[in-house]
Amino acid sequence: MPTILVTGANRGIGLEFAKQYASDGWSVIGTAREPDSAEELKAIGAVEILQLDVADADSVDAFADALGDRPVDLFINNAGVYGSDDLDRDDWLKTFEINTIAPTLLAERLKPNVAAGDQKKMAVISSMMGSIGDGNGSNAIIYRSSKAAVNAAWKALSNRYRDDGIAVAILHPGWVQTDMGGPNATIDPETSVSGMRAVLDGLSVRSTGRFTAYDGSQLPW
Ligand SMILES: NC(=O)c1ccc[n+]([C@@H]2O[C@H](COP(=O)([O-])OP(=O)(O)OC[C@H]3O[C@@H](n4cnc5c(N)ncnc54)[C@H](OP(=O)(O)O)[C@@H]3O)[C@@H](O)[C@H]2O)c1
């Protein structure tokens, strides 16, 4: 069966990815900052849990060592933070580190693993809030800019990886009922992840580098 690696798999959207792919019989590798307390992830059973704090260089090195040269069919960069609504410099830098720089460096680092897989797919969970074309919001400048920047970085990655046969998706999960999305969000994790899985099923180098919502619609950059 294929192998999926998903970051931030201990709760929210990442946990749902782990649940759904495990239930379809995939080999699932889920990362958590604190594996010992990742109870819901452990409860899935057939999931390998690796420690990873994407903002900690030592943790990233240990994670890459633990993964080794294993092939990964689908790599989903899901871990993310919302950051502050205040324009705080340190929080902005931290949010960029987690939402923008870490996913892009991880993609580069794990490119050999994905190239060794059969499916050769990578995705980043971005957000419609990173869309400049749709930019009517006035809040969350830190979050919006971090997601706009990861969109730009991953669009470039899609061009960079095309000749290697690796397909890249930039996904908007919808407004999802998680700790980040809150209780008023419009869809549950199951709906969001089922939709994104359908998009990922159809992903190929012909459709690489698109900004796509969980319902398959194309979004303005
Ligand atoms: N929910 C929505 O409506 C929505 C909408 C658009 C986009 N998104 C995006 O979807 C992704 C998942 O969001 P979610 O709603 O599932 O959020 P969530 O419930 O807050 O979960 C966030 C996940 O990211 C992990 N994480 C945070 N910082 C990390 C770090 N430094 N290293 C490793 N893992 C880290 C968290 O781990 P800990 O448990 O250790 O904190 C947790 O597993 C994010 O990229 C988010 O921006 C969400």
In 3D, which of 212, 18, 32, 215 has the Cα closest to residue 127?
A: 212
Task: Evaluate: CB of 79 within 6 angstroms of ligand 1.
Answer: yes
What CA–CA distance (Å, rounded) separates 34 from 69?
23
Q: Is residue 182 part of a domain?
A: yes
| Count of domains forming the chain | 1
Domain presence at residue 103: yes
Residue 78, ligand 1, Cβ within 6 A: yes
Question: Domain for residue 219, yes or no?
Answer: no
User: How does pLDDT run across 13-61, given as a tens digit for each residue?
Assistant: 999 999 999 999 999 999 999 999 999 999 999 999 999 999 999 999 9
Taking CB atoms within 8 Å and a gap of at least 24, the contacts of 133-138 are 133/219, 133/220, 133/221, 134/219, 134/220
Structure tokens at 5: 């690696």
In angstroms, what is the span from residue 163 Cα to ligand 1's centroid? 31
The CATH number given to whatever domain includes residue 199 is 3.40.50.720
* 95, part of any domain: yes
Q: Is 86 exposed, middle or buried (0-12, 13-18, 19+ CB in 10 A)?
A: exposed
The share of the chain scoring above pLDDT 90, in percent, equals 98
Q: What is the pTM of this model?
A: 0.98
CB distance 176 to 12 below 8 Å = yes
Return the residue whose CA atom lies nearest to atom 17 of ligand 1.
Answer: 180
| Mean pLDDT score of the chain | 97
Range of the domain at 66: 3-213
Instruction: Express each pLDDT in 188-199 by its tens digit.
Output: 999 999 999 999
**Position 218 in a domain:** no
- Any domain includes 173: yes
- Say how many Å lie between the CA of residue 178 and the centre of ligand 1: 9
Q: Residue 138's pLDDT band (boundaries 50, 70, 90)?
A: confident
Ligand 1 in reach of 107 Cβ (< 6 A):
no
In a domain, 59, yes or no: yes
220 located within any domain: no
| 135: pLDDT strictly greater than 90 | no
77 touches ligand 1 (CB under 6 Å): no
Token pair 């990742």 is found at 38
